[in-house]
Structure 1
Amino acid sequence: MYSILFRSSIFKALALCLLLLFGVRGEGYGQRVYADAQRNGTTGTVGSGSVTNPTFSIDASNLSNFTRLSASSAVLASGGAWQQLIFDRTFAGNTTIYIKLNVASSLLGGSVTLKTYSGSTANTDGNEVASSSNSFTAIDGTTYLAVTGNISFNAVRVTLSAPALLGSSTADIYYAFYEPVNKRCADVLGVSVGGTGISLGGGVSNPLNAVDNNLTTYSSLTGGLLGLGYTITQTAYFSNLSNPGDAATITFSLPSSLLQLSLFNNVTINLYSGNTLVNTGTIGSLLSLDLLGLLRSGQRYTVSLSSTPVFDRIEIAVATGVSLLTDFRIHEIQRTPAKPTVPIAYPQAQAVCYGQTATLTAAPTSSGSVLRWYNQVNDGTLLQEGSPYITPPITVAEGDTAFFYVAAAWNSACPAESERVKVAVVANSLPSITLSPLASMCQGETSVSIAYTTTTNSPTSYSITWTDSPTDFINVVNQMLTPNSINLSIPGSAAIGTYSGILKVKSANGCVSSEISFSVEIHPKPSPPHITAN
C-alpha cells in the first residue's frame, strides 16, 4: 500500500523538490495494455463520496477522458471513493503498472491510496497483494503513479479518502497501463529528484532538461555551500522494462574548472526494476581516458552502462559531500541499445595508404539495433546507417590518424543512441623516388639503366607500365628495387625513337607512390669506321 497526501499549500514545494517529475512525450502507443474492466464504490457517510463516469478510465479509444473520484469532509459527514482497474491478464510479480491521474482539492486535500489485487473481476474484489509505489508529476501537471506488485496480480485499486480538514477533493483517473518489453524508442515518462544527508542550498535545477531529447540543455546537480555525506539523485522513469543487455546511457558535462578525475568515482548510475536495484556502476569506471580532453574543455561526454538484468528506472546519484563536486550537469538520461563492438578498437588503428578509403565494420551488441557512423564524438555529421562503412579517401597528413565514431540506436527515427565507439584509421605515408627523366641507348641494345637518387618511406619494389609503346615492350610488376639505378629491358627490335613509361615504387606496407614519367631514347648505332690499307 502507498499513500500520497496532496495538500494545496505544499504541492508546488513538493513539485520543485523531491517529487518534481516531468517529461511525458506521448500516450496510447500500440503495444500498451490498458485496464479494460472496473469496479467502484464509496467510503464513509453516504453521499460524501462519488464516482463519476466510471467507464471512462477503461476506454482506451479516448485517453483524454477520465473517471472522477470525489471526496468531502463536513462537520457531520465525510467520505471518499475508490475505483479498481482490472486487466484481462495476470502480471508476474515485480511488474509495474502506470496510472495517470490528476488530483485537486479546495482546502487540504485527501490522500490517494493504492492497492494491488489478484483474482479480481468486475464482480469481485479478489485478494489484496502487497505492493510498492512511486509518484511523479508529468509536464502537463498531472500525476503518474508507478505501482509494482510483489507477487502476481491483475488489478489496481485507487482510493481517494476524505480531506483531513473541512473541504473537498477530486482525483481524475485517465487510465492504467502496462507496456511489454519492445525494441522501440524508450520514452521517459518523467523524472524525480531527491537527496540524503545535510546540505545548504543543494539540489537539482531544471530536471526536465535531462529528458528533453536535446543534448545542448542540461539539469544541474549542485551540492550547495556545505555538505555532510550529502547525495543528490535524479531518476528517470520508463514506461516498460528494458531488453536484457540494453544500456543506461548518460550524457554529462562539468565546468572545466571543476574537473578532477577522482570526482567521477562518486557519481553512480543505479538501475532499478520497479523498486529493486538490479545493477550499478560508477561514471569513473566507464570513462575512456583518451576523451577526457572533452571534459577538460567543458564539453559533453556520453557513457553507456549495459545491463543483463532488465530495468525501467535510471538513477544518477552524486555524492557531493564527499567529493566536493559542486555542479554535475546531466544533458540526457536515455535507455538505448548497448554500444556496438568493432574488430579494431581504439587505441588500435586500421592502416590504409594516404588517399585510399577504409572499410570500417561494427557489430550491434543489442539484437535488432541499427548502427550510425559519425565524424565526431559529439554532434557532427551522420555519415551512414549500417555496416560496413566505406570512408572517403583518407587525406589527413601522412602518418596522422583520422577518427570515426559508431553508435547504436533502435531505429532510424530514434534520437536516443548509445555511447559512440571510437575507430581510428592511420594514413600510411606513400613512398617516393627521384628518377632521372631520360635514359639513352643505341638501337639493337636490349637493356639500359635509368638512375635515381633520393627515396622516401623506404620503397622496396617497382612496377613499370609502357605507354604508347609497341606490344613487345613488356610491363614490369613488383620487381625488387636495386640500389642507385633501375635496369630496363628493351626489345632488340625496337626502332629508333623515344619510348615513354610510367614507374611506381611500393613500400613494404603495400603503399604505392604517385606515377613517375620517364623516357627512353633509342639512337642509331654509329656506322663502323672505314679503314683504308696503306
Structure 2
Amino acid sequence: MFFLYTAIAGYAQTKVYATSVTSSDNASAPLTNAYDGNLTTKVDVTAKSNTLVLAGYEGYIELQFSSPLPANTTSYIKITAEDNILQSLVGGSLGNLVAGLLGTVLAGKHEFVVEAKLNNGSAVLSGNSATLGQFATERLRIVQNSAGEYFIRITPDQSYNRIKLTSKVGTALLNLGQTRVLSVYDAYYISGSGLCSEPTYTSYSGTSIVSLTDSNVSNPEYVLTPSTTDFSVINVGLLGVGPSVEQTVYFEGPSNASDIFGVRLSTSASLLSAGIASNVSITASYQGTAVQTKTLAELITLNALTMTGGAITTLYMSPGSAVDRITVRLSSFAGVAQSLNFYGVTKTLSVPGINAYTAICSGSTVSLTATVTTGAQIRWYTVASGGTAIATTNSGVAFITPVLTSNTTYYAEQFNGSCTGIRFAVPVTVVAKPIAGAIAGEQTICLNKQPTSLSSVSADAGSTISYRWESSLDDVSWSVISGETGITYQPPVLLKSTFYRRITMNTQSGISCESLPTSSVKVTTKNCMVYANPMVRQRIKNGT
C-alpha cells in the first residue's frame, strides 16, 4: 500500500488517488494498475452470463483511499464499458433515448454498479447503470473529458473511504455465455481550488424530451477544448413550449468566491431575432445547488454587449460564491427550430478594483491605482488583448501614466504568477487646453479716468469656454479680477498704471483646463493737470 499525491502544474489543486484494493474478484492483475496514479493503466473486471450447463459470474474491485473523505467530497473513477452504455449514460435523464439512438439498451446487456462505502459498512451512495435515472442525479453522473474518456462522478452526502465497482451481465445475455469487461483505471478526488482553469468534464440532460431525432447535444466533449472551431451543439428542435436540453461542465474542485466565469456561445441571427436569448439560461452551481442563474439576455445587458449572428460571444458572470459547475440550458419556444453553439467556459481571476479619478488636462499625467484581494500583481496594457505590459504594480501601488495629449484607454489585469485575469478597461479622458489668443487696448490715460475697453483680437470660443482676467502693477505679480469672465474687459477708473492679461479656460468632464496667459497690455496713467504756481508743481512732483 502506498499514498500517491500528485500536483497539477499551474493550479492550486492536486489529484489525490486511492491507495489500495481491499478486495476483488475476477479482476485482472496487477491490481496496482487501479491505484497507481496513472490514468492509462487499468484493471479489467469481467462478468460472464451463464450457459445451459455453466453458471455465470460477476466481477468486482473495491478501491480504498488512505483516510475517510468528508461528506460531499466528489470522487472520479475513470472507466470503460461495453455496449455503448457510457455513451448513453452521459446523457443523464436522456440516457434511455440516447441508448435507443445508439442501437443498445441500458438494461439487459453490460451493466455495472458503483457503491461508496465507509470501511465495511453498507453503501452510503450507490447506482446501477441498468436502473433508469440513477446516473442522472447531482450526486451520481457519468461525465466525459475532452478526449472522450468516461468517468463516474460520485458525491456522497456522508463520509466514505471505499469505492466498489461491480461488472454484471444483463438478462438479455442469459444462457449465451457472453462476457463483459468493465475496465477500471483509477479513482481520485481533488484537493484545493483551481485558478484560471477550463472545466474538465461534461454531461448533458433534458426535460420533457420524448425523441432525440432533433433534440440532443452533439459532440458534447468539444465544449472542453479551448478551440474556437470546436463546439458542442445544444438542440431542442421544433418542440412546443416547455421541453429543454442542457449541458453541464464541471470543474475539478470549487472556485474561489471572487472568480469570474466566461461562457462562450453563438447562435444564428434569425434565432436572436426570434428571442432565443430569453430562452437560454446559464446557472452556476455548487454541489448541485444553484448559486446564480442568468438568462442570456440578462448577461448580454450586464456585459454591455451586442450579440450578432454567428459570432462567438463571451459572457462573464460573477457568482460571488464558490461554484463547481456551469449549466447552459436551452428551453424551446413554439414554432422555431432552435440550437445553440456552446464553445466552453473559462474560470479566471476577478477584475481589479480601480480607484476613482478625474479627467486630466492635456500635457498632464494621471495616477491609476488598482487593488486586488488575492495578493496578485496588476499588469497594465494599452491594448485589450495581447501586447506587452507597459507596467506592473503591486496592489494599491499607483501606475503613473506618461504625459497624455489625447483620450487614452489603459487595461488592467490581475496576474498571480501562474495565470491572468480579465483585462479591465480604464479610459482616461484628456481635456484639451484652449488657445490663449490675444487682446488689445494698450493706451495712456489721465489719472482718475476710465480707459477704453480692452478688446479681443483672437480667442477660443464654444459652450465649454470661459475667461478670467487678471491685473498687475508690475507685470510680475498678478491678481484675479473678480467676476470678470467675458471675452473683453472694461477696466475701472485708474489712479496708477496697470497691466492686464486674459486666461482662457475649457471646462469639461468636471475639470477646467487653462491656456497660457495672453501677452499683457498696459494702461499707462499720467497727471494731466496744469499748475501756474511752480511751488505747487514741485510739491505735486514730490508727492507732498
Please give the TM-score of this superposition, normalised by the length of structure 2.
0.68
Q: Which residue of 1 aligns with 2:271?
A: 258
Q: Quote the residue 1:434 is aligned against.
A: 437
Corresponding position of 1:34? 17
Supply the distance in 2 between the matched residues of 1:479 and 1:35 (Cα, whole angstroms).
85
Q: Partner amino acid for 1:135?
A: I
Query: Does the 8 Å CA contact 1:286/1:304 hold for their aligned counterparts?
Result: yes
* Counterpart residue identity of residue 360, structure 2: V
Moved more, 319-328 or 83-92: 319-328
- For 1:326 and 1:222, locate their aligned partners in 2 and report how far apart those are by CA, in whole Å: 6
Q: Are residue 351 (structure 1) and residue 354 (structure 2) matched? A: no
Please say if 1:71 is aligned against 2:34: no
- After the TM superposition, which residues 291-310 of structure 1 pair with which residues of structure 2 at under 5 Å, given as runs? 291-295=304-308, 298=311, 300-308=313-321, 310=322
Of residues 182, 197, 205 in structure 2, which corresponds to 1:186? Answer: 197
For 1:346-495, list aligned pairs within 5 A.
Answer: 351-354=359-362, 356-364=364-372, 367=374, 393=404, 395-396=406-407, 411=416, 413-414=418-419, 417=421, 424-436=427-439, 451-453=455-457, 454=459, 455-456=461-462, 458-460=464-466, 474=476, 476=478, 483=486, 484-485=488-489
Partner of 2:153: 146
Identity of aligned residues (%): 22
Aligned to 2:237: 224
Partner of 2:333: helix, strand, or coil?
A: helix
Matched, 1:128 2:99: no
Change (3 A) 1:510 1:476: farther
CA shift, 1:214, in A, is: 4.0
Q: Give the Å deviation of 1:306.
A: 0.8
Q: Assess if the C-alpha contact under 8 Å between 2:280 and 2:328 holds in 1.
A: yes
Q: Would the aligned equivalents of 2:192 and 2:253 in 1 still touch at CA under 8 Å?
A: yes
- Which runs of no fewer than 5 residues in structure 1 stay unpaired? 1-24, 43-48, 397-401, 467-471, 494-498, 526-534
Q: Distance in 2 between matches of 1:332 and 1:384?
A: 31
In the superposition, relative to structure 1, how do residues 351 and 421 fare at CA in structure 2: closer, same or farther (>3 Å)?
same
> What 5-or-longer segments of structure 2 have no aligned partner?
1-7, 86-103, 127-138, 527-544
Contact 1:97 1:178 in 2 (8 A): yes
Deviation at 1:236, TM superposition (A): 0.5
Q: Deviations over 1:389-448 (max 9, x none)?
A: 55663624xxxxx666656x6735436x45x66655444454444314x77678xx9xx9
**Structure 2 residue matching 1:264: 3-state secondary structure:** helix
CA distance in 1 between counterparts of 2:360 and 2:341 reads 39
Cα gap change, 1:458/1:186 in structure 2, threshold over 3 Å: closer, same or farther? closer
Moved more, 72-81 or 144-153: 72-81
Q: Report the CA distance between 1:134 and its aligned residue.
A: 1.1
**How many angstroms does 1:87 deviate by?**
1.5
My pick for the range that moved more, 102-111 or 224-233, is 102-111
Tell me if the contact between 1:106 and 1:169 (Cα under 8 Å) persists in the aligned partners: no
- Deviation string 1:237-282 (CA, Å, 9 cap, x unpaired) is 1111223354443132333343249533322222333445454333
Aligned partner of 1:94 among 45, 67, 72? 72
Letter of the structure 2 residue corresponding to residue 243 of structure 1 = N
Q: Which residue of 2 aligns with 1:161?
A: 168
What is aligned with 2:31? 54
Residues 361, 26 of structure 1: alpha-carbon distance in 2 compared, 3 angstrom cutoff: closer
Structure with bigger strand share is 1
Change (3 A) 1:169 1:414: farther
Q: How has the CA–CA distance of structure 1 residues 256 and 292 changed in structure 2, closer, same or farther, with 3 Å as cutoff? A: farther
The equivalent residue for 2:329 is 317
The alignment's C-alpha RMSD in Å is: 5.0
Deviation at 1:302, TM superposition (A): 1.5
TM-score normalised to the size of structure 1?
0.69
